[in-house]
Each structure stands twice: as structure tokens, then as C-alpha cells.
Amino acid sequence: MKNKSEDYQKMIKTYLEHNSCPVAATMSVIGGKWKSIILYLISHDVKRFGEMHRMIDGISKKMLTSQLRELEADKIIHRKVFPVVPPKVEYTITERGLSLRPLIIAMREWGLENVLKIRHYT
Amino acid sequence: MKNKSEDYQKMIKTYLEHNSCPVAATMSVIGGKWKSIILYLISHDVKRFGEMHRMIDGISKKMLTSQLRELEADKIIHRKVFPVVPPKVEYTITERGLSLRPLIIAMREWGLENVLKIRHYT
DNA sequence: CGGCATCCTTCATGATACTG
DNA sequence: CAGTATCATGAAGGATGCCG
């Protein structure tokens, strides 16, 4: 236990010194205002743009686009364009995206257990 | 597996309809720009204000204050003021805060495994 | 349908200075 | 030491309209 603790302290120091905290890194991937919801939705099924737009209450097309682009850049989701009229675009989760599922699930469960006890949340 | 999947779909629907997705709720607690780092630091030890201010590179006193206040409001951390001169304030993690540790650890591990593979992160 | 371009507003955050 | 107060600003995000 002592070792573990010392280990942590060292890692903290290293991370912060190099300004590369992996916790923060993960947050930068899933921490966008809507990303966790998108991830949660998409991890269960292929989703189309309009479909998500309808499912996520209050999100604008612009926001949805930007969040999807960022997730794509991080290789969490994959964007497949069908060259048809009218346009059709499908978003699927990648393998790396799937590796985030345990995290999303854990967040969901923590939320379920604590949501009612905490202050209002937006 | 089929049940599970249907279950998910239902839950998604319910959450989104009621605008109370627990994943988003959790994000609202740990999703602040610096919260995960603060949490990570504080979960290992009692920390003083200035101490954290020094440890977290780039954070302003104002930001640190606001983030700490929010975590306190969510009962994730506890703020203890010592009536001495000069002032002394200690921040400790609460039990609810501790229940977030597995999440933080999981985020840290995902970050370690993926950080090098993804695009730049801030 | 799935965006992008543009304009515009508001909010989060930085900088700086002050205090019990 | 551990904050508050005040001011300033840049960027995030909303609204709207257009397009292939």
C-alpha cells in the first residue's frame, strides 16, 4: 500500500510536470458537452445524423456536427458516407470507441446511484 | 443479450425524454475542465489550496476556487477552514468522492493506453 | 438529408488588484 | 494564505439560411 501511494505521488508529479495527465487526456476525448451521450447512444447501434439529432434533446446541428467530427478525429467513431440522394451518413463506433464502453457504463451507474442525492445537474 | 439490448434502448428513450441522462449527470460532476485532475490529486491526500494551485499547472486561483466550490456543492470534497492567521484551508475527499475513484482510475488507465495513439490533446 | 457559412450573443475564463 | 472583486476578451455556441 505504501508503495502504491508513493507510486501515485510520483506519477502525479510526472504527469503534471509534463502537462500530460492521462486523466485529463481521457476527459479531452469524452468530456465534450454531448460526447458521452453520443457515445452511449452509438455504442449500441449504428446511428444516422438526423436520428441522433432527434434523440439528443436540445443539441443543434452545428454542435452535433462538431462533436461527431472530434470523436472521429480521435478515432472513437467512424463516419460512413453513402453516395446517394438524399445523402445518407452512418456513424458507427470503432474498436477504440468500444474500449470506452466500460467507462461509459461506469459513469452511467454512478449517475444512477448519485443523481438523486446531488444538487441539480444540467 | 437481446433483453439487455432492448433494455438499453428503453433506458435511452426514458433518459432522453426526461432529459436526465445519468451519464450526463456524472459528467456534470466530474466534467469540469480541472475537476478530474483535482479529484485525482485529492483522492490520495488532504490538500491545501495553495498546494493544489502549485500542483496544477496553468490554473488560476479564481478557477481553482470555482471548481472546488462546485465539487463541494456536489459533496465530492469537504472544505475545512482553520481559524488561524494566516488562513489555512484543507480540502479532503468525501465518501461520495471516494466512490468516484474507480471511475477516475479507469479514465487514467484508458488515457495511458490510448494517449499516444490519438490526436493531440490539450 | 446532412451538413456548412455567416452573424451574433453570452458566458467562461484570464489578468490584475485588493483584503481579512 | 486563501481567497474576493472588477474588468476585459475570446471563443463557444445559438439562430438562421443556403446548398449539393
Residue B46 shares a structural domain with residue B104: yes
Minimal-distance CA residue of chain B relative to A39 = B23
Task: Please state, in angstroms and rounded to a whole number, the distance separating the CA atoms of residues B17 and B14.
Answer: 5
Host domain of residue B64: 32-121
Query: Are the CB atoms for B71 and A59 separated by under 8 Å?
Result: no
Task: Please state, in angstroms and rounded to a whole number, the distance separating the CA atoms of residues A17 and A23.
Answer: 14
Residue A86 shares a structural domain with residue A114: yes
Residue B23 shares a structural domain with residue B44: no
Residue with grid cell 449527470, as numbered in its chain: B25
Q: Which residues of chain A have pLDDT under 50?
A: 1-2, 15-18, 120-122
Give the ranges where B18-82 is alpha helix by DSSP (H).
Answer: 22-30, 35-42, 49-55, 61-73
For residue A8, the model assigns a pLDDT of 54
> Cβ of A104 under 8 Å from any chain B Cβ?
yes
Q: Judging by DSSP bridges, how do beta strands A77-82 and A88-93 pair with one another?
A: antiparallel
Minimal-distance CA residue of chain B relative to A13 = B55
Residue B51 shares a structural domain with residue B105: yes
Residue A11 shares a structural domain with residue A63: no
Residue B49 shares a structural domain with residue B26: no
For residue A103, the model assigns a pLDDT of 92
Residue B13 shares a structural domain with residue B41: no
Q: Which residues on adjacent β-strands are paired with residue A60?
A: none
Residue B51 shares a structural domain with residue B79: yes
Task: Please state, in angstroms and rounded to a whole number, the distance separating the CA atoms of residues B55 and A77.
Answer: 34
Residue with grid cell 478515432, as numbered in its chain: A75
- Mapping DSSP onto H, E and C, the string for A62-90 reads HHHHHHHHHHHHCCCEEEEEECCCCCEEE
Cβ–Cβ gap B108/A74 under 8 Å: no
Cβ–Cβ gap B23/A107 under 8 Å: yes
Residue B78 shares a structural domain with residue B113: yes
Residue B5 shares a structural domain with residue B17: yes
Cβ–Cβ gap A114/B19 under 8 Å: no
Going edge to edge, which strands form the sheet with A77-82? A47-48, A88-93, A77-82
Residue A104 shares a structural domain with residue A71: yes
For chain A, the domain total comes to: 2
Q: Which residues of chain B have pLDDT under 50?
A: 1-2, 16-18, 120-122
Which CATH number do you get for residue B97?
Answer: 1.10.10.10
Cis peptide before A86 (omega within 30 of 0): yes
Residue A59 shares a structural domain with residue A79: yes
